[in-house]
Structure 1
């Protein structure tokens, strides 16, 4: 049986495109059922529409408060009955209602080897710290900022002449491959969450 993904984006949607491409293979085991965004006119929404995938937009400013926005987002995502919800560059923290609706099923990718360098500037902080390995982390979202149980990590060497831009781009390549591989394994083989540990298969 094919698993359903709902993917949330805020920008260009390169991770979304990687998932759309992977889902074209029937053996992958998943389909992107819908793509949501927190703003109009993103390239991620265009990618979804070009692929014939339903889209929706839920802007925070259209609601009286964050709780109302969270409730609306939760209801919309739930209507597609997703097996996994993927944050693919979605730049909003979802609230408790959303997390409770999709326990252990809302995943996010981050451009550092967590728990090092959470937040918005992982590659820049990695360079500033002088680390020799940066990378990408896929994790299950909880109520913190980049603090949830880790599903997978990919290391990316930091080169002596790296800039934030060059390091970020190499991390993005590793991030896309890791996301596609891990989601495929999750939908085909299942997963369990035991405290801080996530086991695939």
Structure 2
């Protein structure tokens, strides 16, 4: 059984998709243990607690940066049994860059989703980057987290067409639908032990 911790900063729509998959049985062998936010007004906290009965916790930054903050996250996760041995940490709209120390602590046990086909358009406003660049196809990427920004090994990707009249908002909405498919699928593969990391490549067994 994988003990799941989810980190959010806002509404947590990808968190919602993952927890719905666990509740329905689509994602087996996963126990949601805690949802943590760095923002006390994150709407996803109420969704987690009231809709799914998952414990929640706010870990405010209070000006802390890097590992000084992340070690508080790690302590909260481990208190909820999300350990480096038995846990999985999913970043779902968590608007902080994880410190190298945190990444090493949960080595290859942190997943993130990004609204672009990495390695294209990393960082913020990926959908706007795609529209401005004029690409014909975009999408989302679920990847393991490493020390870089949106640079870890790719687990899976989903694509959407980019239309001539797309704006950042319309493309974002279309990609978000695919995110809600991709993230639960990736969590399921992890929980089933079907992901094998070989350098930069992730083999699906």
TM-score normalised by length of structure 2: 0.92
Give the alignment of 1:183-198 within 5 angstroms: 183-198=187-202
The separation in 2 between residues aligned to 1:192 and 1:81, in whole angstroms, is 24
Give the alignment of 1:21-60 within 5 angstroms: 21-26=20-25, 28-29=27-28, 30-50=30-50, 51-60=52-61
Contact kept in structure 2, 1:138 and 1:151, CA below 8 Å: yes
The separation in 2 between residues aligned to 1:26 and 1:126, in whole angstroms, is 35
Equivalence for 1:128: 132
Structure 2: stretches of 5+ with no match in the other structure: none
**What CA deviation, in whole Å up to 9, does each residue of 1:83-140 have, x standing for no partner?**
2110000001111221111110101000000000001111101011110001000011
4+ aligned runs moved over 3 Å, structure 1: none
3-state SS, counterpart of residue 117 of structure 1: coil
The separation in 1 between residues aligned to 2:199 and 2:138, in whole angstroms, is 25
Give the alignment of 1:104-115 within 5 angstroms: 104-115=108-119
3-state SS, counterpart of residue 190 of structure 2: helix
RMSD: 1.4
Equivalence for 1:18: 17
3-state SS, counterpart of residue 120 of structure 2: coil
Give the alignment of 1:145-184 within 5 angstroms: 145-184=149-188
Contact kept in structure 2, 1:123 and 1:164, CA below 8 Å: yes
Contact kept in structure 2, 1:5 and 1:86, CA below 8 Å: yes
The separation in 2 between residues aligned to 1:68 and 1:182, in whole angstroms, is 30
User: Offset at 1:27?
Assistant: 5.3
Contact kept in structure 2, 1:109 and 1:179, CA below 8 Å: yes
Structure 1: stretches of 5+ with no match in the other structure: none
Contact kept in structure 2, 1:135 and 1:174, CA below 8 Å: yes
User: Offset at 1:174?
Assistant: 0.3
Equivalence for 1:61: 62
After superposing the two structures, state which structure 1 stretch, 119-128 or 73-82, moved more.
73-82
What is the aligned length?
199
The separation in 2 between residues aligned to 1:81 and 1:190, in whole angstroms, is 22
The separation in 2 between residues aligned to 1:10 and 1:187, in whole angstroms, is 24
Contact kept in structure 2, 1:33 and 1:53, CA below 8 Å: yes
3-state SS, counterpart of residue 166 of structure 1: helix
The separation in 1 between residues aligned to 2:145 and 2:27, in whole angstroms, is 23
3-state SS, counterpart of residue 62 of structure 2: helix
